[in-house]
Every structure is written in C-alpha cells, then in structure tokens.
Structure 1
Amino acid sequence: MIYTITLNPSLDYIMHMSHFEIGETNRSLYEDIYPGGKGFNVSTILHRLGLETTALGFVAGFTGEEIKKQLIKRGFECKLCELDHGISRINVKMKGEQETEINGSGPDITKDKLDEMFHQLDALTSDDLLVLAGSIPLSLPDDIYEQIMKRLTNKNIKIVVDATNKLLTRVLPYHPFLIKPNKRELEELFGIEIHDQTTLITYAKKLQNQGACNVLVSLGKDGALLISEDQHIYKCGAPLGTLINSVGSGDSMVAGFIAGYLKHHSYKEALRLGSACGSATAFSKDLASLDKIKEMYQQIESEEIL
C-alpha cells in the first residue's frame, strides 16, 4: 500500500478572473472548489494510474467534511484524523492575467490527535511506501517529518519526501527513498544560482551525499533530471503544450515516478512516467486524467546521460 500524509489540507476556492484591481470590487467569471494538499494530489494520480493508495492527515469542521466528501468521490481510501476544534483552511486562488493566492494557516493539531496519526503509521510494514508532502500547520514542530522518519527507521519502509527548507534537510540523514526539489528550491537550499546542467548535477549530488537515495529535480518546461541511487544520471525532456495549471504538477510527477518504479523497477521508466504525469497536470485544468497522462507519455523519452 502507498500511504500519503497531508498535514495541512485545504479547500481550494479558485476564482477565474479576467483582471484584478487592488482596492476595487472584483467579480469572478466562474469558480471551482477542490480539496487541496500535496499528499491528496499524489494519491489522486496514483489511483488514476491503478495503484492502491490511502490518504492520511487531519481535517476539521465543515471545510474538513467537504474535503472528505470530495476525496471519497475520487475513489481511494481515506483515513483522516478528525480534529475537535477549528476548521480546515480555505485557500483562495485568483487566476487571470496573473495568479494570486491567499492561503489560510490551518487549525491547531493537538498532541492526542498527532498520537492518533502516529499509531496509524506504526502499523506500516516494509511492504508499504509512505509519501510526506507539503507544508505543515503552525501548531506542529518543524522537525515533524524527521520525527516520522525516525519513528519508522527500523521498518525498512521506502519514504518519499516532497518538502522545502528545514523540513527537507532534517530528513536527509534518515535516507529518504526520493526527494524532489525543483531548480529554484535547489538554488535556495545552497544559496546559489544555477545556469547550466553541470552545476545542477553538482548540487543535486550534494543532497544525495547528505543522505537522499534518489534526487529528482523538476525543471519545468525543460523537463526533469534524476540522480539515482545506483549512481546513474537520467534526463527527460518535457512535451510541448500550453501551461494551464501549475498547481499539482510536482505532486503528479512524484506519483508518476512512484508508479513507474513500482511497476517496472526501472529508474529510467520512473522518470519518464513521472515527467508525463507532471506535464499532463500542467496542461490540464485540474489534476491530469489517465488519457492525458498516456498522451504525454508517448511524446517523451528519458535517457541516461552519465
């Protein structure tokens, strides 16, 4: 089973606008509402690719009920801890000539509810894979991913971490199976600017030397690059298309990589399917459909470059 954790889910209220003026009354053309959260996105794409997945995390209040309702419609299993107080956050996203977001902070997660999730994790075995993805609410310590990985150290569970800054660097000594920084995040981690592939590879390898097994660097329109644990380097281009939706593209790439690896036990194939899923979501209104993923998959190839 592939488990995903979303510690700070949201109800994303998306307003499509022709233009936006600060200080004025603005009206949207139409609205969409989706459950938001990187772990939920990963589970959604995994399910569409035919893999079994269970979403873990926390929800609260009437917004939490709507999140659960919409996730159930997607068809995969959810075992979400329900908080006694507060509401799951609402993120307002305005899409028009430019994209503007206002994200909520999220409810407080109490110790007893955190322990409830820890007990869920204690049941995982070496046959399972766990995905830790996204931001955390202010009520949780910034070493929460490290705590989870330390707790599971002796279980031989493959753990994927898609996070930034200290959330990421703290887990590296516990040897996550996969991390997925993008180029900008890699630059921020090391305080540098990356202008060529050689520099990109150098700093991606630094993360591997610090403990990550596989380092997948998403490059947007330039595709993706993988430093694999077997010391090979793979690259995959991106298909041609019009960017419609940047939200969830990276999560889709993570899901595709996991699916490609589990189905084929090939890093080259994992990179190809991951890139196809990421592009398919970027070129779709919402998370990619299976048909769109298949279309993108046929347009790209991954290659070993070193």
Structure 2
Amino acid sequence: MIYTVTVNPALDYVMQLKEVTPGAVNRTPSAVFLAGGKGINVSQILNQLGIENTAWGFAGGFTGKELVHQLNRRRIVNDFVTIKQVTRVNVKVHAGQETEINAAGPAIAPAEVAAFGDRLSDLQAGDLVVLSGSLAANLPEDFYQKLLPLIKKAGAEFVIDTTGQALLDTLSYKPLVIKPNHHELADLFNTTFNSEQEMLTCAHQLLDKGAQNVMVSMAAKGGYLITPEHVYHAPAAVGTAVNSVGAGDSMIAGFVGTYVKSGNPKESFRVGMACGAATAFTKDIAVKSQIDAVLPQIEVEQIS
C-alpha cells in the first residue's frame, strides 16, 4: 500500500477569467472548488495508474468537509484526521497567467498530531509513505523527520519531497527517491553548475548520504535518474506547458507507483517523466489518457 501525506491541504478555489483589472469588480464565467495539496496530487496520479493508495492528512470545518467530498468524488481513498480549525482556502486565478493567493493554514492541536501518529500503526513491511507539501504553521520544522523512525521501524519505505536542510536531514533514513530540480540541487551545495557533469557529481553525493535514487528535473532539458549502479537521461516530452502546479508531484507518483509494481528504476523513471509532462500539458492533474499519450515520447538512455 502507498500512503500519501498532506498535512496542510487546501480547498482550492479556481477562477478562470480572460483578464483581471486591478481595483475594479471582476467577474468570472467559471469557478470550481478542487482538493489541493501535493500529497493529494500524488494520490490522483496513482489512481490514474491503477495503484492502490490512501491519502492521509488533516481536515477541519466546512472547508475540510468539502475537501474530503472532493476526494471522494475522485475516488481517492482517504483517512484524514478531523481537526477543530478550518482547512485553508487557496485562491487560484487563471487570467492569461496564473496568480495564486495561498493561506497559511490552521493550527494543529497536540491531540490531533497524536491522532495522526496513530495512522502509522497501520504500516506494514513493503508499504511506502510519500511525504510532501508545506507544514501547517504551528508544526515543528522537523515534523516529517520525526515520522521517519516509525516508518522504517514498520519495515516501510518513504519518499520525501522537500528542499534545503530539511531534505538533507532525511537522507540518513534512506528515502527510496528524492526529486530536486537542478536549481534546488545546486542550492543544496551552495553552488552553481557550469556543466551537467558537475550536477551529476552533486547528485551522486546525495546517494552517498543515503538516498536510494535521485531524480533531477531540468525543465526543457528533460531529467536524470541517478542510481547506485547507473545514470539515466530522458529528454523532455514535446508539448505546450500550460500548468506549473503538480508536475513534480506527478513525476514522483509515476516513479513510486511503477516502482512498487516492478522494482525497475529505469521504467519507473520513464513513467515518472511521462506523468510530469502530462500534467504540465493540462490545466489540472493529468488523467490516464493524457499520460498514455505522452509515454511513447519518453525514451530513457543509460549514459553510465
């Protein structure tokens, strides 16, 4: 079983307009509520790939009820802890370009944190937990890190999607895969890359620190997968990017969903690249038909 964790989900209010005039009343012909959050995005792609998963997190108030309703509509199995405070609402305005107004989110009470910890007792050997997304305002910065000993004790694997020191602090627990982009990777080492070889050298250092696999996304230059045995490269798929939200989550979902079935990192990378591109080419998280349309474009080459 794969479990996705979204500790600070949002009910996204998405509005479509031709243009926005500041200081005036703007009316939208189209507006929808969607369940938002990086772990939720991962669950959506896993569903499209036919991979069993459960979404974990916190949800509260009338917005939390609507968020869970949206998950149920999309047939995403979920087991969220009910909290006293209200789940945040994020406003997404699409008017030629994307404008986002994101709320900080609710405070999580200690008893609610403890209830979430109880979810980890369900873990069994062979399970996988995907930890991603921002933390609620009052949660400690090491919230994810404190979960890792419990996950590993159960014999489960984990994937974490974060950056900076928070990412480095998890490497000793041996995440199945991490996915910095090339800018985030450079920042980890306080450097800039003058060549792709310099980038690969730093990626190998993350393996030495404990990561089992490292995916590096490079936008129009495609992506790399670095494993202890090989380095793979895949060019970017050809298409028009219309959405910057969820592509990285989709890439992770494609990788982990395929890996739990096959154990093949090369094929997992190929599917991950296709899922990321498919989401980038649509206004929402990609569906199976869109992923299937992109997949033939992704040709993975072993370069070492």
After TM superposition, the score normalised by the length of structure 1 is 0.95
Where 2:188 maps in the other structure, the secondary structure is helix
What does residue 80 of structure 1 align with? Answer: 80
Report the residue type matching 1:164 in the other structure.
T
Deviations for 1:136-160, whole angstroms, at most 9, x for unmatched residues?
0111000011100022232221101
Partner of 1:65: 65
**Mean Cα displacement is larger for which, 64-73 or 22-31?**
22-31
Q: Which residue of 2 aligns with 1:289?
A: 287
8 Å Cα contact 1:18-1:29 kept in structure 2: no
Q: CA deviation at 1:107?
A: 0.7
1:54 aligns to what?
54
**1:92 to 2:73 alignment:** no
AA partner of residue 57 (structure 1)? G
Q: Does the 8 A contact of 2:59 with 2:82 survive in 1?
A: yes
5+ residue gaps, structure 2: none
Alpha-carbon distance, 1:95 to partner:
2.0
Deviation at 1:167, TM superposition (A): 2.7
Aligned equivalents of 2:233, 2:32: Cα separation in 1: 35
Q: Give the SS at the match of 1:34.
A: strand
Structure 1 counterpart of 2:145, one-letter code: E
CA displacement at 1:164 relative to structure 2: 1.8
Q: 1:145 to 1:96 in 2, by over 3 A?
A: same
Cα gap change, 1:20/1:183 in structure 2, threshold over 3 Å: closer, same or farther? farther
* Counterpart residue number, 2:156: 157
Q: 3-state DSSP class of the match of 2:90? A: strand
CA shift digits 1:243-282 (9 cap, x unpaired): 1111111111111001221222211101100000011111
Which residue does 1:104 correspond to in 2?
A: 103
Contact 2:277 2:294 in 1 (8 A): yes
Rounded Cα–Cα distance in structure 1 between residues aligned with 2:143 and 2:193: 30
Aligned partner of residue 34 in structure 2, secondary structure: strand
Corresponding residue SS for 2:242:
coil
Figure out how many residues of one structure are paired with residues of the other and give that number.
Answer: 304
**Residues 151 and 157 of structure 2 are in contact (CA less than 8 Å); yes or no, is this contact kept in structure 1?**
no
- Of residues 230, 241, 244 in structure 2, which corresponds to 1:246? 244
Distance, in Å, in 2 between the alignment partners of 1:51 and 1:191 is 38
RMSD of equivalent CA atoms: 1.5
Q: Identity of counterpart residues, as a percentage?
A: 42
Please, which moves more after superposition, 24-33 or 275-284?
A: 24-33
State the partner residue of 1:221: 220
**Number of the residue aligned with 1:300:** 298
Return closer, same or farther for 1:90/1:166 CA change in 2, 3 Å cut-off.
farther
How far residue 75 of structure 1 moved from its aligned partner, in angstroms, is 1.2
Find runs of 4+ consecutive structure 1 residues off by over 3 angstroms: 20-29
Is 2:166 aligned against 1:167?
yes
Classify 1:21/1:201 alpha carbon distance in 2 versus 1 (closer, same or farther; 3 Å).
farther
What is the match of residue 177 of structure 1?
Answer: 176
Report the Cα offset of residue 29 of structure 1: 4.4
Structure 1 residues not aligned, in runs of 5+ = none
Distance between the aligned counterparts of 2:4 and 2:116, measured in 1? 12
- Specify the code of the residue in structure 1 equivalent to 2:113: L
